[in-house]
Amino acid sequence: MIKMKRFTTAAALALCVGMASVGMMSVGMVSTAQAADYPEKPISLVIPLGAGGSHDLNARVMTSVIPQYLNQAMIVQLSPGAAGQKGTNEVATADADGYTLLFTHNYIDQLQQHVENLPYNPLEDFVTVARINFAPIAIVVAADSPYKSAEELFAAAKENPGKIKMAHSGNWGALFVPAAQLMQANGFELNLVPYKGGGPAMQALLSGDVDITMGFPSTLAGQLSAGKVRVLATAGDERIYDDVPSFSELGVGGDVGFMHRVVLAPKDIPEDRLTLLRDAFGKLNDDKTYQRMMGRMGENIDYMSGSDYDKLRADQKEAYESLVKEITGG
Q: Could you give the string, one character per residue 97-136, with x where binding to other proteins holds by CB under 8 A and - elsewhere?
A: ------------------xx--x-----------------
Amino acid letter for position 312? L
Sole window of 31-39, 163-171, 241-249, 250-258 interacting with other proteins (rule: CB under 8 A): 163-171
Cβ proximity to other proteins: between 57 and 155 the closer is 57
Cβ proximity to other proteins: between 209 and 302 the closer is 209
Within residues 173-232, the interface with other proteins by CB under 8 A covers 191-196, 199-200, 202-204, 206-207, 209-210, 221-223, 225-226, 228
Q: Which residues pair with 104 in a beta bridge?
A: 262
Candidates 67, 72, 73, 81: give the one binding other proteins (CB under 8 A): 81
Amino acid letter for position 109? D
* Site size for other proteins (CB under 8 A): 69
Within residues 11-70, the interface with other proteins by CB under 8 A covers 11-13, 15-16, 19-20, 22-24, 26-28, 50-53, 56-57, 60-61, 64
Q: Which residues pair with 265 in a beta bridge?
A: 127
Burial class (CB in 10 A: 0-12, 13-18, 19+), 296: exposed
Quick check: bond before 136 cis, omega within 30? Answer: no
Sole window of 3-11, 95-103, 179-187, 275-283 interacting with other proteins (rule: CB under 8 A): 3-11
3 forms part of the interface with other proteins (CB under 8 A): no
Cβ proximity to other proteins: between 64 and 149 the closer is 64
Kindly state the smallest distance separating residue 139's Cβ from other proteins, in Å: 18
298 forms part of the interface with other proteins (CB under 8 A): yes
Cβ proximity to other proteins: between 249 and 287 the closer is 287
Candidates 41, 165, 273, 317: give the one binding other proteins (CB under 8 A): 165
Candidates 3, 251, 288, 296: give the one binding other proteins (CB under 8 A): 296
The candidate with the shortest Cα–Cα distance to 173, out of 92, 120, 106, is 106
The candidate with the shortest Cα–Cα distance to 318, out of 173, 143, 175, 123, is 123
Cβ proximity to other proteins: between 161 and 270 the closer is 161
Sign of the CA dihedral with 268 first, then 101, 54, and 133 last? positive
Candidates 9, 31, 275, 307: give the one binding other proteins (CB under 8 A): 9
Candidates 72, 77, 113, 145: give the one binding other proteins (CB under 8 A): 77
Residues 78, 175: Cα–Cα separation, whole Å: 22
Cβ proximity to other proteins: between 200 and 245 the closer is 200
Cβ proximity to other proteins: between 276 and 301 the closer is 301
Residues that bind other proteins (CB under 8 A): 5, 8-9, 11-13, 15-16, 19-20, 22-24, 26-28, 50-53, 56-57, 60-61, 64, 76-83, 85-86, 89, 115-116, 119, 162-163, 165, 171-172, 191-196, 199-200, 202-204, 206-207, 209-210, 221-223, 225-226, 228, 293, 296-298
